[in-house]
C-alpha cells in the first residue's frame, strides 16, 4: 500500500528519542486509529496529517508508508485489546464451563468495542488496507488467547482436535457478534446469552467427545 513510488529516495523513518518526537509519533498513531474507527474514512497521509496537526513530511519522519504505519497501529491496538480481555479469559473457567467462558469473552468483546470503536472492524468484512490488517490481527489475538486458555484448562484434549473446534467456535462467535442488537435493545442481553450458549455448548460437546474417544 505504498503511497509513493519514490519511497526509496526518502530517508528511513527514525525512532524518536526527544520528548516532542515521541509525542508527535504517538499523536500520529492515535489520529490514524481514530480514522480507522470511522466507517468510510479512508486512511490517507494528507487527511491524517491534518488530523494529527502536522505535515505529511512529519509523518514520513516516523513511518515509511501506510503499511509501516498500519503495523504500528496493529501492534498498539492488539496489545491494548489483549490487556483488556486477558482478565476475563480464565483457563480454569475454560476447563470447567466453556459456556460461561464464552459468555465472559463476548461481554469483554462488547465492552472493548464500546470503548474502542476501531475494534469493530474485527466483526465486519473489510477491504484490503489498514482496517483489514487490524481486523485479522485482532481475530488472531483473540484466537491465540482462547487457545491458550483451553490448552491449560483442557490439557487432555488432543491438540489437533482442540484447534479445530476452537477455529469453528471463533467463526461462529464472529458471525454472532456481527448481528448483536444495538445497545439498549430489549433483546440484546438474550441475544448475547444465546450466542454464548451456542458457541460454548458446541465447544463443550466437541472437546468432551474428543477427550473420551
Is it the case that residue 1 has pLDDT exceeding 70?
no
Domain boundary among 16, 33, 66: 66
60 and 94 share one domain? no
190 and 155 share one domain? yes
118 and 191 share one domain? yes
What value does the mean pLDDT of the chain take? 87
CA pair distance 38, 117, nearest whole angstrom: 8
Q: Please indicate, yes or no, if residue 2 is contained in any of the structural domains.
A: no
Over residues 93-115, the mean pLDDT reads 95
33 and 88 share one domain? no
Is it the case that residue 14 has pLDDT exceeding 60?
no
Is it the case that residue 202 has pLDDT exceeding 70?
yes
Predicted pLDDT at 2: 38
108 and 164 share one domain? yes
Residue found by looking up cell 470503536 in the block: 117
End-to-end CA distance of the chain: 48
The three three-digit cell numbers of residue 157, written as one number: 484434549
Q: Please indicate, yes or no, if residue 49 is contained in any of the structural domains.
A: yes
Predicted pLDDT at 9: 46
Q: What is the pLDDT of residues 123-180, one digit of tens each?
A: 877 777 888 899 999 999 999 999 999 999 999 999 999 999 999 999 999 989 888 8
| Helices marked H in the chain | 19-37, 45-52, 56-62, 66-85, 91-96, 98-115, 130-153, 159-177, 188-212
**CA-angle at 124, arms to 100 and 84, nearest 5°:** 45
Over residues 61-80, the mean pLDDT reads 92
Domain count, the chain: 2
Tell me the whole-structure pTM to 2 decimals. Answer: 0.84
Q: Residue 19's pLDDT band (boundaries 50, 70, 90)?
A: low
Among left, alpha and beta (phi > 0; psi -120 to 50; other), residue 40 is left
Predicted pLDDT at 31: 95
Predicted pLDDT at 22: 85
Is it the case that residue 3 has pLDDT exceeding 60?
no
- Residue 43's domain comprises 7-66
Amino acid at each position: 500500500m505504498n503511497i509513493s513510488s519514490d519511497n526509496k529516495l526518502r530517508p528511513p523513518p527514525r525512532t524518536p528519542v526527544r520528548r516532542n518526537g515521541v509525542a508527535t509519533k504517538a499523536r500520529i498513531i492515535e489520529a490514524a486509529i481514530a480514522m480507522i474507527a470511522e466507517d468510510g474514512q479512508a486512511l490517507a497521509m494528507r487527511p491524517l496529517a491534518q488530523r494529527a496537526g502536522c505535515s505529511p513530511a512529519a509523518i514520513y519522519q516516523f513511518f515509511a508508508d501506510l503499511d509501516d504505519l498500519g503495523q504500528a497501529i496493529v501492534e498498539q491496538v492488539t496489545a491494548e485489546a489483549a490487556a483488556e480481555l486477558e482478565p476475563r479469559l480464565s483457563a480454569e473457567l475454560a476447563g470447567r464451563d466453556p459456556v460461561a467462558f464464552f459468555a465472559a469473552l463476548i461481554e469483554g468483546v462488547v465492552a472493548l468495542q464500546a470503548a474502542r470503536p476501531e475494534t469493530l472492524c474485527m466483526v465486519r468484512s473489510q477491504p484490503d488496507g489498514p482496517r483489514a490488517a487490524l481486523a485479522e490481527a485482532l481475530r488472531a489475538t483473540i484466537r491465540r488467547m482462547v487457545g491458550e486458555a483451553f490448552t491449560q484448562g483442557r490439557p487432555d484434549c488432543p491438540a489437533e482436535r482442540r484447534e479445530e473446534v476452537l477455529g469453528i467456535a471463533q467463526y461462529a462467535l464472529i458471525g454472532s457478534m456481527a448481528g448483536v442488537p444495538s445497545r439498549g435493545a430489549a433483546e440484546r442481553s438474550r441475544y448475547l446469552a444465546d450466542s454464548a450458549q451456542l458457541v460454548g455448548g458446541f465447544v463443550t460437546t466437541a472437546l468432551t467427545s474428543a477427550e473420551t474417544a
